[in-house]
Amino acid sequence: MSGHIRQRGKKGQWYAVIDVMTDGKRKRVWHRLPGATGKREAEKACAALITKQAEGAYVTPAKLTVADLVRSRIDQWEAAGEITARSVEGYRRYLANQIAPHIGDKPVQKLAPLDIEAWHTALRNGGLAARTIGHAHRLLGKALRDAERHGLVVRNVARTQRAPRVSESEKAVVEDIPGLISALRGALLRARHDRLVHRHEAVRNSGPALEPSSSR
């Protein structure tokens, strides 16, 4: 694969122009390089794309699916130490259960706000709580934010179509958790205190009996 860089537009946006083979035909693909502020940085970014192609890791932006994007970003965040092991586990669960079955096969460049809205509706109709939908939505938005920064998409549609609002009943349940924890902690402390008192009384009552005094 060969490629070169081009600068276009009034703002001087840099692009990597890559020649790829698609279905046996050579095709020229333009990659926006939003992180490149000069020619040297653009050349490095272009070279990195060519290296990916040589290693078999290059995916044409038009063919990159939502599931592939989210999966690759989770792997990258984990490798870079940006998220904890617990977050990695949760993110992969959201990907497997909420994202991949519904919009995973959608090309990320064709993902539209209406697709996000329909996705939310499908999850809600499937009995999923708005709070859980929000978690999955934020994961998708985080991945799309990276895709926008790397020039894989023009805009982050998850920012345009927001997650559904959490109902007051769901908020009440969540807001009551601190009170529940406090009540449980108080109950445990009282139980511990009662056990100590009971143990102390048992020890005192089981002491050696006093011998009766001998009469003279």
Q: Give the pair of three-digit tokens for residue 168.
A: 């007051």
Going along the chain from its start, the domains and CATH numbers come out as 3-58 (no CATH), 63-169 (1.10.150.130)
Q: Give the pair of three-digit tokens for residue 43.
A: 């050349």
- Asked whether residue 123 carries a pLDDT value surpassing 80, the answer given is yes
Alpha-carbon gap, residue 142 to 120, rounded angstroms: 17
- Asked whether residue 24 carries a pLDDT value surpassing 70, the answer given is no
pLDDT digits (tens, 9 = 90+) for 176-195: 556 656 767 777 778 877 77
**Across the chain, what does the average pLDDT equal?**
80
- Asked whether residue 11 carries a pLDDT value surpassing 80, the answer given is no
Q: Give the pair of three-digit tokens for residue 122.
A: 């499908």
| pLDDT grade for 59, boundaries at 50, 70 and 90 | low
Alpha-carbon gap, residue 79 to 75, rounded angstroms: 6
DSSP code of 26? E
